[in-house]
Amino acid sequence: MPIEYYIFLCLMLFSIGVIGVLTRRNAIIVFMCIELMLNAVNLLLVAFSKMNYGAAKLISATTTAGIDAQIFVFFIMVVAAAEVSIGLAIIVMMYRNTHSIDINFLNRLKN
């Protein structure tokens, strides 16, 4: 499986996430698109790890090349989880204050 296929797939997913962030106004949906982006990156990292492993395996049969990427993906998931909890807490608080989750409402930054 040439690596470009994976790269293109992840790029598609990532840019769909970007479009989602730019297009939607609901804060929660925006958040979800961010998660989508993170996942696309995760997939790409895993693909790269297998690519390196495949190349290293031809040299010596018992390598652990490319395992770093998978560990990294693991940690990305960890961070994503933490971030989601905090983010949702913020959104809840925002809703409580303004009774709306429209991100345009956040134009408090204007003044």
Partner 1 sequence: MKILVAFIILWPLAGFLFNGLGRNYWSKKLIAYKATGYIVASFIASIFAFLYVQDNGAVTVHYFDFIHTDSIKIPFDFKVDALSSLFLLVITGVGSLIHLYSTAYMQEESAPHYARYFAYLNLFIFSMLLLVLGDNYIIMFMGWEGVGLCSYLLIGYWFSNGNYNYAAKKAFIMNRIGDLGFLLAIFWLIAKLGTVSYSEVLTAETVAKLSSADITGITLLLFVGAMGKSAQIPLFTWLPDAMAGPTPVSALIHAATMVTAGIYMITRSNILFTHSEITQNIVAIIGISTALLAATIAIKQNDIKKVLAYSTVSQLGYMFLGLGVGAYSGAVFHVITHAFFKALLFLGAGSVIHAMHHEQDIRKMGGLKSKLPITHITFLIGCIAISGVPPFSGFFSKDEILAAAFEKNKIYWVLGLVGAAMTAFYMFRLYATTFLGKFRGSNEQEAHLHESPLAMTLPLIVLAILSALGGAIGIPHIMGGHHWLTGQLSTIVSTPQVAHLAVSTEWILMGLSVAIAAIALLIALSRYSKQTDEEPSSAIGKFFYHKWYIDELYQKAIIEPLNKFALFLKEFIEKKVIDGAVNGSGKLVQFSARKVRLIQNGQAGYYILFMVVGIIILFLIWFNDITILRFIHTLTQK
Partner 2 sequence: MNTLEILFFALSAFAIISAIMVLISKNPIHSVLWLILVFFSISGHYILLNAQFLAIVNIIVYAGAIMVLFLFVIMLMNVKKDKEPQKQLWVKLIGVIAGGSFLTLLIALVKQNTSFQGRDVLLKEGNIGLIHPLGVALFTDYVVPFEISSVLFLSAMVGAVIIGKK
How many CA within 13 A on the CB side of residue 21? 12
Q: Among partner 2, partner 1, none, what does residue 60 contact (CB within 5–8 Å per kind)?
A: none
CA distance 65 to 49: 8
Binders of partner 1 among residues 38 to 97 (CB under 8 A) are: none
Q: What is the C-alpha separation between 72 and 35, in angstroms, rounded?
A: 16
What's the closest the beta carbon of residue 23 comes to partner 1, in angstroms?
8
* The two three-digit tokens of residue 10, written as one number: 């992840």
Nearest approach, Cβ of residue 7 and partner 2 (Å): 5
Residue ranges that bind partner 1, judged by CB under 8 A: 18, 21-22, 25, 103-104, 106-111
